[in-house]
Amino acid sequence: MITEDNTFIDEIKNFIATKMTLPNPESNLIAVLHKVQQLYCYLPKDVIDMIAIEMNIPAAHIWGVATFYHYFNLKKPGKYIIAICLGTACYVKGSNKILEAIKEHLKIDVGQVTEDGIFSIQPARCVGACGQAPVLMIDEKIYGELTPDKAIEIIEKYRNKNNND
Amino acid sequence: MQDTITITINGKEYKVKAGQTIMQAADSLGFHIPRLCYHPKLSIEGACRVCIVEVEGMKNFVASCAFPINNGIKIKTNTAQLRRARRDIVELILDNHPQDCHICERDGNCELQHLAYTMGIRKKHFEGQKKNYDLDLSSASVIRDPNKCILCGRCVRMCTEIQGVSAIDYANRGFDTVVMPAYNQPLGESVCSHCGQCINICPTAAFVEKNYTQELFEKLDDESIIKVVQVAPAVRAAIGEAFGLEPGRNMEHETAAALRKLGFNYVFDTQFSADLTIMEEASEFLERVQGKGKLPLITSCCPGWINCAEKFYPEMLENISTSKSPMSMMSPLLKTYFAQKQKIDPEKIFCVAVMPCTAKKCESERPEHTVNDMRATDLVITTRELAWMIKSAGIDFVNIAGEAYDKPCGMSSGAATIFGVTGGVMEAAVRTAYELYTGETMTEIELEDIRGLQGIKEGQLTLEGQEIRIAVAHGLGNAHKLLKIVKQEPDKYHFIEIMACPGGCIGGGGQPYPSENLIPLDQNLLNTRAKALYESDRKNTIRRSHENPEVQRLYREFLKRPLSDKSHELLHTHYKAKQPQGIVSHMLNNLQNGK
Ligand code: FES
Ligand code: FES
């Protein structure tokens, strides 16, 4: 196949195959895109091309669907996704200030990836740790009672970890 | 279901055919409801709401392009309230439009401008946010300007439903919605075939051709070079429309005269090299029929089709004739044969082509089309660009006295004239192939079976006992359908003509925008243009390419014979498979699965 990472291609192809026998198979496009995002964390272009072939849907049209829904990531996310909680409790406790600090520190916006490909920022809605608000999450690990400085410290820890790997 | 039902429009009862939309019924009764996103040849989008009408019993206005009539329906099309609502709708569209009409390519023939005028919009009530996108200049033929786009979606439906290319679609949402290729990649790198039908169908200037008129005016002023021009057949059948003349006027000689007035030193006729294309292509066909090479042979003169083939049909490239298009045969001859004859330094020749086509701009840039390291065709302008230049230079085109084309590349047969209409290349090729092969005169040279606007046409003939089956498709959507048949039954046809544009070159992406009461793709308009070419063929005393004395002389003096080494060097080419990202792939898929 075409993509840099072929791991999930067969899985996706099989998934599509189960949909193609249904009436109006093209109506399953969104389900297929969900599957791809679940496996790759985003929608790689090569995989969209592959879906175009397998499902008989023009790539320009799939691209239209993928860009319509905010849920879909179109860029490869960073190695570490910083999920900053903007749920009510965290928000009240000033998580937007933390978000601003992180954005400034990494020089990227929400949904973008740092140039070195290490970090990306994503908003999250209540991760169930309101008691420690404001919180952020990296790799399923929750960091609470944050201040802007603390958040940046945590991020730098991950950077060092990455450099030592 | 009854066939006729009674409807009331604006207080008066009418009997109309059942099963129509309000708009269709109103059209048939002479009520023209304003519209923007609707086009009779495309699916109904219902996106613009300009076509709203009042239906008794309905709380809201309904979109007449999408609303079906039923017996007893009472419709109002022009109440004061409706007029106000429509005007608001158009104003809102205008609101985030650049409104730079006076510097816009389509000033004077823009549907939006016209609509605003008819709606009676005389002052601005809203000031909306403007879009601010870069122009997509990546294609050699087509410019995409999202700032001018009003999101009617006609281009998207054209590209998908008529052309089967699906290079573009809506992306993003809300105010950020943009019509773009997959992955927002540049048009020039997408699956686009550069046919320019998006330009023809666009109501504004969101798609326009890459314009070379300024550059050309400057060249025309340069006395150190020899300016040589050639004109394609379909140009003469349509250019008059740009000057308000009735469609179907053949402006062959007027065009030659105007080009000389613009400053060209030599004015040649692409029809001359169309005859030459037939000599080469018919000979190639006869070779293949005798077992040398793949069948079916597919014509190669249409650059939109060639772009499409290289992207969608890589494994069929061997089926495509290696003969270059008439344009790309003429230019190398001008820089060799003609230059030698006139004792001109070929480096000094500036070769211009006037084409009904946007894809020809791409074709002229192909690196394989060079001659002795010179670019063969230096510049291509469309019919629209030429019409503009003639107006801009103050030439009275309507009253100009016609002039003949120059020698030695200005004479042509009637067979060359009909190249401009779907089926014409095939008809011309058959006239010559038959006579070259059998040595007999063909009596019925007008092949009615492959004339007309039906999407796919078939015909047959007998070559010394062997049955030859031919097929013709115009519009890439029809080409896809025909090639699907060929995939299933590779022996079904021997010879196939494909033209990317609906109607062939007469419906090309570079032809004049239709005048006020006509719409793009109008079948009558296409038929009238076709008629102009068929009549010209009938009036010509020479109707077979191999009887063109100038072509015969060219072979005698220079090329020797069809398919000679010299011919191969100058007049033939090859194709390369291209794999753009975002390939549509319904075709690829069909190929892979042999469906
Ligand atoms: S609102 Fe942030 S964890 Fe609940
Ligand atoms: S023309 Fe009917 S909604 Fe646009």
Tell whether the model's pLDDT for residue A1 goes beyond 70: no
For residue B72, is pLDDT > 90? yes
Please work out whether the CB of residue A83 comes within 6 Å of at least one atom of ligand 1: no
Over 80: is that where the pLDDT of B78 sits?
yes
Q: What are phi and psi of A42, to 5 degrees?
A: -160, 180
Closest ligand 2 atom to Cα of B46: 3
Q: Using CA atoms, how far apart are residues B428 and B546, in angstroms rounded to an integer?
A: 10
- Burial (CB < 10 A; 0-12, 13-18, 19+), residue B1, is exposed
B551 lies in a domain?
Answer: yes
Is pLDDT above 80 for B245?
A: yes
The residue with tokens 């001109």 is B344
B240 and B204 share a domain?
no
Question: Model confidence over A108-165: pLDDT tens digits?
Answer: 988 888 988 899 998 888 888 999 999 999 988 999 999 999 999 999 999 998 888 7
pLDDT for B592: 40
What pLDDT does A112 receive?
85
Residues B242, B363, single domain; the answer is: yes
- A32 and chain B in contact, CB less than 8 A: no
Which overall architecture, per CATH, does domain A80-164 show? 3-Layer(aba) Sandwich (3.40)
Position A71 confidence tier, pLDDT thresholds 50, 70, 90: confident
Please state, in angstroms and rounded to a whole number, the distance separating the CA atoms of residues B112 and B204: 6
Residue of B nearest to A3 (CA): B581
B74-81 average pLDDT score: 96
User: Could you tell me if B28 and B138 lie in one domain?
Assistant: no
pLDDT for B582 beyond 80? no
**Element counts in chain B: helices (H) and strands (E):** 21, 19
Does residue B218 lie within any of the structural domains?
Answer: no
B216 in any annotated domain: no
Whether residue A49 has pLDDT greater than 70: yes
CA distance B547 to chain A (A): 47
Cα nearest neighbour of B174 on chain A = A68
- Same-domain pairing of B193 and B242: no
CA–CA gap between residue B48 and residue B51 (Å, rounded): 8
Q: SS3 letters for chain A? A: CCCCCCCCHHHHHHHHHHHHCCCCHHHHHHHHHHHHHHHHCCCCHHHHHHHHHHHCCCHHHHHHHHHHCCCCCCCCCCCEEEEEECCHHHHHCCHHHHHHHHHHHHCCCCCCECCCCCEEEEEECCCCCHHHCCCEEECCEEECCCCHHHHHHHHHHHHHHHHHC
Is residue B403 part of the annotated active site? The answer reads no
The average pLDDT across B35-45 equals 94
Cα separation, B480 vs B482, in Å, equals: 5
Average pLDDT over all residues of chain A = 89
Cα–Cα distance for residue pair B74/B70, rounded to 1 Å:
9
For the CA of A124, the nearest ligand: 1
Query: Two tokens at B138?
Result: 């990546």
* Residue B284 annotated in active site: yes
Q: What is the DSSP letter of B163?
A: T
* CA–CA distance, B500 with B505 (Å, rounded to integer): 8
Q: How many angstroms separate the CA atoms of B174 and B177, rounded? A: 6
* Alpha-carbon span B8 to B556, nearest angstrom: 72
The residue range of the domain holding B196 is 106-209
Residues 6+ apart with CB under 8 A from A90: A126, A130, A133, A134, A135
Q: For residue B43, what is the domain's CATH number? A: 3.10.20.740
- What does the alpha-carbon distance between residue B455 and residue B478 come to, in Å, rounded to a whole number? 6
Phi then psi for residue B428, to 5 deg, are: -65, -45
Q: How does residue B163 score in pLDDT terms, banded at 50, 70 and 90? A: very high
Indicate whether B187 and B256 sit together in one domain.
no
- The residue annotated as part of the active site, out of B241, B281, B427, B497, is B281
In a shared domain, residues B68 and B134: no
Q: Please give the Cα distance from B435 to B423 (Å, whole number).
A: 19
Q: Which of B45, B363, B427, B435 is catalytic?
A: B363
Q: How confident is the model at residue B1 (pLDDT cuts 50, 70, 90)?
A: low
Q: Is A64 on the interface with B (CB under 8 A)?
A: yes
Beta pairing class for B168-171 and B178-181: antiparallel
* φ, ψ for residue A83, nearest 5 deg: -95, 110
Closest CA to B78 of B50, B53, B59: B53
In this structure, are B534 and B392 located in the same domain? yes
* A55: Cβ contacts below 8 Å, ≥ 6 apart: A16, A19, A20, A25, A26, A28, A29, A32
The residue in chain A having the minimum alpha-carbon distance to the alpha carbon of residue B168 is: A60
Residue B74 region, left (φ>0) first, then alpha (ψ -120 to 50), else beta?
A: beta
Query: According to the model, what pLDDT value does residue B583 have?
Result: 63
**Residue B241 in domain:** yes
Ligand nearest to the CA of B47: 2
Who's near A92: CB < 8 A, 6+ residues apart?
Answer: A133
**Per-domain boundaries in chain A:** 9-68, 80-164
Q: How far apart are CA B576 and CA B456, in angstroms?
A: 26
Report the CATH number at residue B121. Answer: 3.30.70.20
pLDDT single digits (tens) B414-449: 999 999 999 999 999 999 999 999 999 998 999 999
- Does one domain contain both B485 and B555? yes
Mean per-residue pLDDT, B311-319: 93
Q: Report CA-CA distances (Å) from B387 to B5, B242, B253, B327, B530.
A: 47, 6, 15, 19, 20
Q: If pLDDT is split at 50, 70 and 90, which confidence band does B335 have?
A: very high
State the ipTM, two decimals.
Answer: 0.88
- Residues B539/B542/B544/B549 CA torsion (nearest 10 deg): -150
Give yes or no for residue B267 having a pLDDT over 90: yes
Average pLDDT, chain B: 93
Residues B445 and B501 in one domain: yes
- B341 domain-assigned: yes
Closest CA to B258 of B283, B231, B280: B231
* B407 backbone dihedrals φ, ψ, rounded to 5°: -95, 155
Q: Is residue B86 part of a domain?
A: no
For B585, the closest of A53, A64, A67 (CB atoms) is A53
**Residue B14: inside a domain, yes or no?**
yes
> Within a domain: residue B582?
no
Total domains in chain B come to 3
- Pair B118, B63 in one domain: no
Kind and range of the H or E run holding B199 = helix B197-201
Same domain, B204 and B234: no
For residues B260 and B354, state if they share a domain: yes
pLDDT at A3: 47
User: How confident is residue A97, by pLDDT bands cut at 50, 70 and 90?
Assistant: very high
Shortest Cα–Cα distance, A52 to chain B (Å): 6
- Name which of B389, B418, B382 is nearest B544 in CA terms: B418
